[in-house]
Amino acid sequence: MKKTNILAICAGLGVIFIWSGWITLSRAGVQTALSPWDISLLRFGTATLITSVLWWRYPWRQVNWWHASIIALTTGAIYTVFSFYGMNHASAANTGVIVNGFLPVFGALVGAWWLGSKPAKLAWLAIFIILCANLLLLFQHGWQAFLSSKQWLASLLLLVASLSLASYMVAVKAFNYGIKDVLVMVPLINTIVLLPCWLLLPTEISQVAWVDIATQAIYQGVVVTLCAGILFTYCIRHLGPLTGATMMAFVPAVTAVLAWFFLAEGLTQWDVAALVVCTLGLMLYSKASAKA
């Protein structure tokens, strides 16, 4: 195995733990007075301040702003706002399964449409298993309970977030975006988009303790946007978007453990079954991608 591939796998493993922590912390954040817009602006505003030191040496004249906007918004405002609103009505464990469980599905569909890639038969089998896991989770209390609660709305919002992130992963490969491009463009463009929205919308951020605000700003802005952004981009560039999507195989399981430990969110037997089936399906998908 090439050294770059080994490093890319290690980068993917780092993203798994960072992403699991992000879901858990974000779920805790939306349970405070912080709105999805507050958390999103804290995330990208903090990252913009830190990465502003890179602006003076960045080749601005070569920027394709259409490509940059697609890259930035699909991993930025679209992904985070839909995720945070979905987390208002879904547990951290459910969020991990829905968002990451559908990444290979949407990654395969977007990749086929955009790049012309065709997953192997084993990969389609894995996708079917993943779908079964998510359906098991979504309808564990029956159709009527699902439709009568806000779970259907949360699931829809999280599916949009998953599609957005899958589109970002394919776009990074399609546009040949590097780490420096992601570090500069993702925070900047999202801050420009989110700031006017935040100013126009009601906020109760003044009622939130400074320690909670600082925690969200540091983890969201530094650990996730910058550290995970670097690792994720490196992983995608060297292993491809489909393999990158399947590197999230253990996010649902790790998230469930973190949510149980930090948020005291209990797991039903159906939740555990969905987590196990989803993880097995994602691992099978990884095997299929490796053979392709």
Angstrom CA distances, 243 to 58, 105, 129, 165, 214, stand at 30, 12, 17, 14, 34
Mean pLDDT along residues 104-125:
84
| DSSP code at position 209 | -
Give tens-digit pLDDT for 146-171.
666 677 888 899 999 999 999 998 99
Output phi, psi for 229, to 5 deg: -60, -45
> Residue 148 is encoded by which pair of tokens?
């009568």
For residues 160 and 82, the answer to whether their CB atoms sit within 8 Å is: yes
Total number of domains constituting the chain: 1
Residues of the chain with pLDDT > 70: what percent? Answer: 91
- Compute the half-sphere exposure of residue 28: CA atoms within 13 Å on the CB side of its CA: 19
For residues 88 and 218, the answer to whether their CB atoms sit within 8 Å is: no
Mean pLDDT along residues 244-252:
70
Angstrom CA distances, 141 to 72, 94, 98, stand at 37, 14, 16
Average pLDDT, the chain: 85
Confidence of residue 99 (pLDDT cuts 50, 70, 90): confident
Mean pLDDT along residues 57-81:
95
Nearest to 40 by CA among 208, 217, 181: 217
Instruction: Name, of 24-28, 116-120, 149-153, 270-274, the range with top average pLDDT.
Output: 24-28
What is the end-to-end Cα distance of the chain in Å, rounded? 15
Per the structure, the complete domain to which residue 113 belongs is given by 3-291
> Residue 282 is encoded by which pair of tokens?
């994602």
Q: Which amino acid is at 82?
A: F
Mean pLDDT along residues 57-73:
95
Confidence of residue 236 (pLDDT cuts 50, 70, 90): confident
